Chains A and B, each alone.
Chain A
Amino acid sequence: MVRGASLPITIRKLTKSYGEVHALDNVDLDIESGEFLTLLGPSGSGKTTLLMVLAGFTRPDYGSVCFGDREVIRLAPHKRDVGMVFQSYALFPHMDVRANIAFPLKLRGLPRREIADRVDAALEMVQLGGYGERRIDQLSGGQRQRVALARAIVFEPRIVLMDEPLSALDKQLREAMQIELRQLHEKLGTTTIYVTHDQREALTMSDRIAVINQGKVVQLDTPRRVYDRPTSRFVAEFIGESTFLEVECVEGTCRLAGQPLKVEDTPPSSGRLLLMLRPERLQILDSQSDSADNVFEGRVTTVVYQGDTFLLQVVLDNGARLTVRGIASSRSMARAPQAGDPVRLGLGAEDAVLLPDQPRT
């Protein structure tokens, strides 16, 4: 299995409603050939529906899905030639590991010799060499995950779909598998659509993330852009921690409680906007001499020690509450302010992100 051909996916006006609920609402999405794209969203956002439409298991109301140049919207699932890893793994319990992986190859009528070779190669690839004769119920969760993966890639599909494949694994194994999946993708170069509700997983693995909410793609960007430059309050809240402060913008100048703000990007609009603050992007300024693009003054109400980091709950002088995160080294902990201490916080212009003020969704 070498880097093979992969296909781009073009989705246009894809819509699926269940009664009044729009699971997919006029979705337009271009997925590049060989890209690892994650569909990220809360449960019920429509991300799984989108994956099921791509696999052919859910029939949409209307819209277009093209794999390369080929329209597949009405194509039966077994003719689509996409690999899929199910959340439940969906391994056939009446077959051993080898027969599970050989299943798609036998259906394609490959010669016995080649099937054996390719199954062996797939087992090696997922580091399960020697496990071919095991029954499925003799495997651990992580091993089943690998068998499901091997079965999905063994017939060299040009598109691979993954439906929360790691959600059943414990945290450590999940993080190891994230790296492994990512490396496998780099080796195979297959267009991969990955569904998850775990924002950290999405940030770790993806080339691009499509954040989905209420059946719509609300932002499509690289992990860094999605985290650093969310375009809406929903994305900012769903990915990472954040606090929002109200600011007033007039002719490109924004003020937080009268204090002018230095920002890098031009504000998206005039009037009332929200300033997004990531806890770890705020610096705790030690002395009066330390400075930053924007400085907020306040008082610490709580200090929470979390091992690798610590959190400060701060009330600003204008009454707003926010959270600051710092790396917890012995030195920084010794210098960290105590509850009740006054504190000065710095925010770089590049980390000051302004968002339109929408109601919470």
Chain B
Amino acid sequence: MAVSSSDVLIGQGRPNAAGLRRDQLFERWTLLALTAPALLLVLITMIIPVGWLFWLSFLADDGSLSLEHYRRMIEQPSYGRTFLITFEVSLLTTAICIMLGYPLAYVLSQLPRRIANLCMIAVLLPFWTSLLVRTYAWLVLLQRQGLINAWGINLGLWDEPLALVHNLNGTLIGMVHIMLPFLILPVYGNMRALDRDLLKAAANLGASPTRAFWLVFFPLTLPGLLAGTLIVFILCLGFYVTPAVLGGGKVIMVSNRIANDIELFFNWGAASALGVVLLILTLLFIALAARLVRLDRMLGGGPG
């Protein structure tokens, strides 16, 4: 008796509760269903290949399970050198991109929006031509009898042709050119979104333009800069074409090594192991960067 009366009470006191709850559940599942294609794509294009790569890297040449490929990477110093060069080239490219890109993004962000958009198209123009074309174009410009050396010598700026290509210089020039937009875009977006009143407030409170920059503008554009830095650095780690064409065999990055392993030695296991190590190092680097960003937020508590 008591049970049935309380049931009635629930039914009367909270009309349609069960039906509404069902509707909500249905809506949630519908939304989840919408993400299914994306999840499937990630599974097919990411999880499965990477898993397969992992699997291959643990297979010896005769098909048995072994750590042979990883052992070789530790024993042979040339592998260590490859990773060192990869990180060196990536760090240098990223650093040059920051030094060129941050000021450029600043100038763009100060321009009227219409002119800034035009300039932005100019920045993005390189994206519209093939990477390979751009890289070979640099070869034409930079080689010993290339345009730059010819002009330099004609103008009397230097006497001997400079070694601008087939070495680290050429690789860096080519990679910076390709990576620059990836740095400028997030930094520019960050700077545009910044409230102009903040800089006015800093000036009003007594900050000279230099101090206003370092105490207010720079810390507040740091998230964009870190995002751009991370994108550029990670893209650099896996770069193949530019070091292959402009490095002249002297700049061997991990990707070049992987290509060699597969094309010359048909050694999928060794190539996979390289890929796995690069992936892990990259993830470690991202984790480190993420920690740095959080650290910055904590340190950003006060000026000076």
Contact = CB atoms under 8 A, between A and B. Distances in A.
Whether both chains belong to one complex is answered with yes
Interface of A: 55-57, 76-84, 86-88, 90-96, 98-99, 102-104, 106-108, 151, 155
Q: How large is the interface on B (under 10, 10 to 19, 20 to 34, 35 or more residues)?
A: 20 to 34
| 4 A-B pairs with the lowest CB-CB distances in the bound complex, closest first | A90-B201, A90-B197, A104-B205, A99-B302
Nearest to A154: B205
B126 interface: no
A95 B301 contact: yes
B203 interface: yes
Interface string B189-218: 000000101101111111111011001100
Contact of B207 (A78, A96, A99): A78
Contact of B303 (A81, A83, A87, A106): A106
Nearest to A106: B304
B220 interface: yes
Contact of A104 (B198, B206, B212): B206
Contacts of B215: 103
Contacts of A155: 205-206
A95 B205 contact: no
27 contacts: A57-B200, A57-B203, A77-B200, A77-B204, A78-B203, A78-B205, A78-B206, A78-B207, A79-B206, A80-B204, A81-B206, A84-B201, A84-B204, A86-B197, A88-B197, A91-B201, A92-B216, A94-B219, A95-B300, A95-B301, A99-B301, A99-B302, A103-B205, A103-B215, A103-B303, A104-B206, A107-B211
Contacts of A87: 197
B212 to A, nearest CB: 8
B216 to A, nearest CB: 6
B207 A94 contact: no
B192 to A, nearest CB: 16
Nearest to B201: A90
Contacts of B301: 94-96, 99
Contacts of B211: 107
Given A86-B197, A90-B201, A95 B206 contact: no
A77 B211 CA distance: 13
Contacts of A96: 301-302
A187 B148 CA distance: 70
Query: Among the interface residues A57, A86, A94, which one has the most CB atoms of the partner chain B within 10 A?
Result: A94
A94 B220 contact: yes
Chain B interface main SS type: helix
A151 B205 contact: yes
Contacts of B216: 92
A56 B203 CA distance: 9
Contact of A77 (B195, B203, B219, B220): B203
Contacts of B220: 92-94
Nearest to B204: A84
Nearest to B205: A104
A86 B206 contact: no
A20 to B, nearest CB: 19
Nearest to A57: B200
A108 B198 contact: no
Given A86-B197, A94-B220, A102 B302 contact: yes
A95 B208 contact: no
Contacts of B303: 95, 99, 102-103, 106-107
Contact of A55 (B204, B212, B304): B204
A92 B208 CA distance: 16
Chain A CB within 10 Å, residue with most, of B202, B206, B301: B206
Contacts of A80: 204
Nearest to A108: B206
Given A93-B220, A95-B302, A155-B206, 7 more contacts: A55-B204, A57-B200, A78-B208, A86-B201, A94-B219, A94-B220, A94-B297
Contacts of A81: 206
A294 B143 CA distance: 99
Pick from A86, A88, A90 the residue with the most CB of B within 10 Å. A90
Contact of B200 (A86, A94, A108): A86
A196 to B, nearest CB: 18
A96 B203 CA distance: 19
Contacts of A57: 200, 203
Interface in B278-304: 297, 300-304
